[in-house]
Amino acid sequence: MAFIPGTPLALITERKGKLKLWQEGGEVRDVAGVPEVAYGGQGGLGDIVLAPDFATSNMVYLSWAEPGDEAGTRGGAVGTARLVTEGAPRLEGLKVIWRQQPKVTGQGHYSHRIAFSPDGKYLFVASGDRQKMTPAQELTGNLGKIVRLLPDGTPAPGNPFAEKGGLAAQFWSIGHRNILGLAFDGEGRLWDLEHGPAGGDELNLVKPGQNYGWPVVSDGDHYDGRKIPRHATRPDFAAPAISWNPVIAPGDFIFYKGDAFAKWRGQAVIAAMQPAAIVRVSITGEKASEIARHPMEHRIREIVEREDGSIWLLEDGKEQGAGRLLILSPSKG
């Protein structure tokens, strides 16, 4: 979800391939010109963010799962297009600027979260391991990586793995599993929020050139019960700032900046799906600690701070009565 500043409008993606133009107090309309998506499993239409120069360009960036050339293969893609809201809302001139490579079988762990650096110069994309695990440690493909690009999708100069050649010129960090949140804090530092396997969800301070260890280490284990060495056993890998076992199944997160929830300012505020909650995390230096958990009725898939400091949530739509857009209200207690 992305609010359009200075307007009553927001853009909301639905996994089956719909892009909605929501209007506060008004109707919700479909946006035309959205790419065809490879819907199924965790795949479909993904993230959407406004370009740093949206006020003058009307450009948006969106991600989705697309089919590969070989039967049964899929991968994430990121594209950019001009948003037109006058008359029938639509995307014009959609252009793919980045793709997960290689395309593989399966329908999970696309990640494909998008974040611009605070100065607007660099585009960061989270690329999940696509449930294949070992590619996260390989430099020949961009699965299990965070990549740093210029706004046109080309590798940003000065990336830490550029000397390896090929796709490695994109890489900012490696050894990631399934990144569902990607955000910059108030100091301009990049953080990611990852799903672990059976246990081991983690919040990471993302530094250039670092290896975050998946699938060699984790604070969780494989779903079939096989043990995975813990982060503490391999100090050569970057360890999470905090991990959860049992999991919280994160959907997304923000670093809160506003005034409506003044006590939350500077905290990581996490949308959690299992158990359904809003999880608040305090950051001290490069470490993090959970300080509060607010139970919710349904799984929370997305959390967004609007320009007025209000916090909006999107529920996952799988449960009966779910799939709602919610606004949080500060407690009077």
Residues marked as catalytic: 109
Q: Which residues 6+ apart lie within 8 Å of 1 measured at CB?
A: 10, 11, 12, 13, 48, 302, 304, 312, 314, 325
Q: Round to whole Å and give the CA distance between 264 and 247.
A: 22
The answer to whether the beta carbons of residues 26 and 39 sit under 8 Å apart is no
Q: Round to whole Å and give the CA distance between 126 and 114.
A: 7
The answer to whether the beta carbons of residues 47 and 64 sit under 8 Å apart is no
In degrees and rounded to multiples of 5, residue 114 shows phi and psi of: -125, 140
Q: Which residues 6+ apart lie within 8 Å of 7 measured at CB?
A: none
The answer to whether the beta carbons of residues 309 and 261 sit under 8 Å apart is yes
The answer to whether the beta carbons of residues 238 and 252 sit under 8 Å apart is no
The token duo for 222 is: 């494989």
The answer to whether the beta carbons of residues 100 and 77 sit under 8 Å apart is yes
What are the CA-CA distances from residue 191 to residues 115, 119, 207 (Å)? 10, 16, 9
